[in-house]
Structure 1
Amino acid sequence: MTVFIIAAIILVAATTLALTRPLWHGARSWALAALVIVPATTGGLYLGVGTPAALDPQQVVPAATDATGAAELSIDQALTALRSRLHQQPDDLEGWLLLGRTLRFQQDFPGARDAFMRAFALAPESADVMVEAAEAMVMASERPLIEGEPLAMIQRALAIDPDQQRGLLLLGAHHIQAGRAEAGLVHWQRLLELAPPESLPSLRQRIDEVRAEAGLPALPPTAAETTEARSLTIELDISPALAETTADLPSSAQVFVLARRIDGAGPPLAAKRLPLGPFPRTIVLGDGDNPMATGSLFEQPRIRLIARISRRGGANAEPGDLEGSLEIPAEAGTRIALTIDRVIE
């Protein structure tokens, strides 16, 4: 299932640049900005509407297997099976969404529009479905402009969910198409607060290009970008051998993530205390997490990262706690993988 979702996101993103270029009418940043945002929002749509398992081709039709037992199912076979299923189950929202996305990838825009409109009829109050249906209507139009009914649907979707990223992208593009760059940039700049950190540099570049074309100065860094620049992003996980033991931890258990000097001297350079939760998880650790405010985490050439699950919730390590550590260069803006992989004796 996960592989299928990732593949679908990649396919949609790879075609977005070509498919949306006519919408831009001279402002070349539109298609590139769509490429930045679409992967994140599409994944959210796959996972956010109904039952994700229903989108798995192997759930739609039993797959043939090759000599190694691997599943083989062509897009055409999957489409045939999916259409058959939708004929029998016309109220299958997830099925109509999958059909629309597949036809959009195949550049059958009228077919994609019809599928998304069927989904919209089943979920008329879903901002996500509303935006996809509106976008499909634009793609299928002889004049691919964001206006009329698609524009009204996008505006309604944003009234329901003001943070709907695809809607903000499209509404911004509508204003820029119409020569109202400043109005469009309001929506695109809002995306700087919503998009995932890895998308910010590309998104900012597209926005600055449009601002330059409109005679506007480049934006100053946002709070999120400043924080990202002066922090470490830690992808924290737990080893399979220890993962099973977390179910037996008491309710008092807490997760501590620390950055210390290599020699261990002095208080932590940065520290966070978090409730025990699922793994893997992403944790941002930076200068704002210095408990003593004694200087920057990044003044040290190298630091030791420590992640510990404390059974009793105490800050000091005790026998039976679970821990992992890693020595790294103290470079702001980096992303580090850290695994809790041992029991303190």
Structure 2
Amino acid sequence: MLGRSYIALQEYPLALRAYERADRLSDGKNAEALTGEAEVLALTDESELNGRAGRLIERALALAPDSGKALFFGGAVAARRGDLPLARARFVKLLGMDPPPNVRPLIEQQINAIDAQLAGGAAARAAGTSVASAKTPAAPAKAAGPPAEAPATAPSGGEAFVRVNVTLAPSLAAAAGSSPLFVFVRDPGHPGPPLAVKRLESRFPQTVSLAASDAMIPGRAFTSGQSVEVVARIARSGNPVGASGDPLGEVSYRVGRDELVSLVIDHVMP
């Protein structure tokens, strides 16, 4: 489909027009076109998953409930609106469809994060409280020690990689608790899903390496010579989608030129 070629070239306006035309020609019955429209909108502005892109994905799933891409976006859409059981069901179904090896860990992470949220909500209800009103103090961040390498396979010779040493500002130490840490690489010139991502424990300091094998979308990864932005965010909700109040930090990185770069989590999302 022409829209897919335009996405590969990061020509998002042209991709959107191509998918919209395919949608019109099919009289709204082409699930691939609907999913493509939603993908382009999300690549341009992730918040579209709360609006038009989310509605397009629901229409695509109604037409093609076994579409892998629609299920992936559909899980994210359901999670964003707070429907965790539906989000989990979609990710579990996708996991059973034998996804690519580089995508499988991301899906498993989504399921684990949702399970943790559902378990926390059940525990709070059993105690007669809600998750929002529970006053369990946050566990302090682990004491600083030697940088710990993130558990991952080291990039193979010649493979482009990004390597950062993530630390947490003392003023935000109490905000970490047991929430997961997401480290991702994004192209500052092209909004949308990150080029690579890892979900880790919130341990500081921590050295993290990301490579093309950590790409969220196959075929869309960073390359040597590219200038990117590396972001580290503590997801207090456990969700990879950022939320107000999440501690984060970012740093510029020149792939293939920079080596280990310091990244400090020193502010929160507005």
**TM-score after normalising by structure 1:** 0.32
Compare relative contact order (CA 8 Å, sep 6+) and give the higher one, 1 or 2: 2
Computing the radius of gyration over CA atoms, which structure comes out larger, 1 or 2?
1
More helix per residue: 1
**TM-score after normalising by structure 2:** 0.40
